[in-house]
């Protein structure tokens, strides 16, 4: 079975550098997309998640630090390699403290970026969105992520493996909306050939399976133009 290449998004407001990195990373086996800023990155991530992000620190408008902090605050733990023209060690510290996984000062050899990306992906591979809580309570639902058992009002619920995978993805991001592409990626796997409409159908089945109601007690809410969110304890 063929293995799909790692997906990388390069975020830089320098069109020439974007083109160079796209060509170089693509020739080294990465599925590479390039964007010119935070808003374009958000659109790309909502359509098709990435395995890693190459993020320029110094950009007009929203800079790399702000983008990195915003992604981490939203629960997006996609590995980030930060690029910067600055050489001061304090900038490296600030970049890493903001949530970046590695830091590469400009100018750099493209081969070094490939090595940094490969190292970051090896370190983070398989970590995913691991919850520190094996048992999570949301409303009247009790979800055991280890045993894959779901209870509602002390009664066991029967969920298919796909329904549980969707529920687990929503639980691990509870309170934060996930796009359909993100749900496919986190719950069903990047190789799954699933359409957005199929996700909607699966969510509808999941809602029925957990006894969700379209009223104030609704636990899985539709976020129009985005996707779905599982309510958090403070919602």
Predicted pLDDT at 120: 85
Distance CA 81, CA 53 (A): 6
Distance CA 15, CA 34 (A): 9
Task: Copy the structure tokens of residue 231.
Answer: 């309510």
Predicted pLDDT at 108: 87
Q: Are 9 and 71 in contact (CB under 8 A)?
A: no
Q: Are 185 and 49 in contact (CB under 8 A)?
A: yes
Predicted pLDDT at 35: 97
Rg (CA), the chain: 19
Confidence of residue 145 (pLDDT cuts 50, 70, 90): confident
Confidence of residue 130 (pLDDT cuts 50, 70, 90): very low
Task: Give the chain's end-to-end CA distance (angstroms, integer).
Answer: 44
Confidence of residue 28 (pLDDT cuts 50, 70, 90): very high
Look at 89 and 5; give whichever has higher pLDDT. Answer: 5
Query: Residue 10 is inside which H or E element, if any?
Result: strand 7-11
Query: Residue 137 is inside which H or E element, if any?
Result: strand 135-138
Select from 203, 219, 209 the least CA-distant residue to 140. Answer: 219
**Residues 168-176, mean pLDDT to the nearest whole number:** 88
């Amino acid at each position: 079975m063929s293995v799909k290449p790692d997906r990388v998004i390069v975020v830089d407001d320098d069109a020439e550098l974007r083109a160079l990195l796209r060509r170089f990373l693509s020739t080294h086996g990465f599925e590479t997309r390039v964007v010119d800023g935070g808003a374009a990155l958000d659109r790309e991530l909502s359509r098709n998640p990435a395995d890693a992000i190459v993020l320029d620190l110094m950009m007009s408008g929203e800079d790399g630090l702000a983008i990195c902090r915003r992604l981490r605050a939203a629960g997006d733990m996609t590995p980030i390699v930060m690029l910067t023209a600055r050489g001061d060690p304090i900038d490296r510290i600030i970049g890493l403290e903001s949530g970046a996984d590695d830091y590469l000062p400009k100018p750099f050899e493209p081969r070094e970026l490939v090595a940094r990306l490969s190292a970051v992906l090896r370190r983070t591979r398989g970590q995913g969105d691991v919850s520190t809580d094996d048992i999570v309570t949301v409303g009247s639902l009790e979800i055991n992520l280890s045993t894959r058992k779901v209870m509602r009002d002390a009664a066991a619920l029967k969920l298919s493996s796909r329904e549980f995978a969707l529920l687990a993805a929503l639980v691990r991001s509870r309170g934060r909306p996930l796009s359909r592409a993100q749900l496919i990626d986190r719950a069903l796997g990047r190789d799954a050939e699933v359409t957005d409409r199929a996700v909607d159908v699966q969510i509808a089945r999941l809602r029925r399976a957990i006894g969700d109601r379209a009223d104030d007690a609704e636990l899985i809410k539709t976020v129009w133009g985005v996707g779905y969110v599982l309510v958090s304890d403070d919602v």
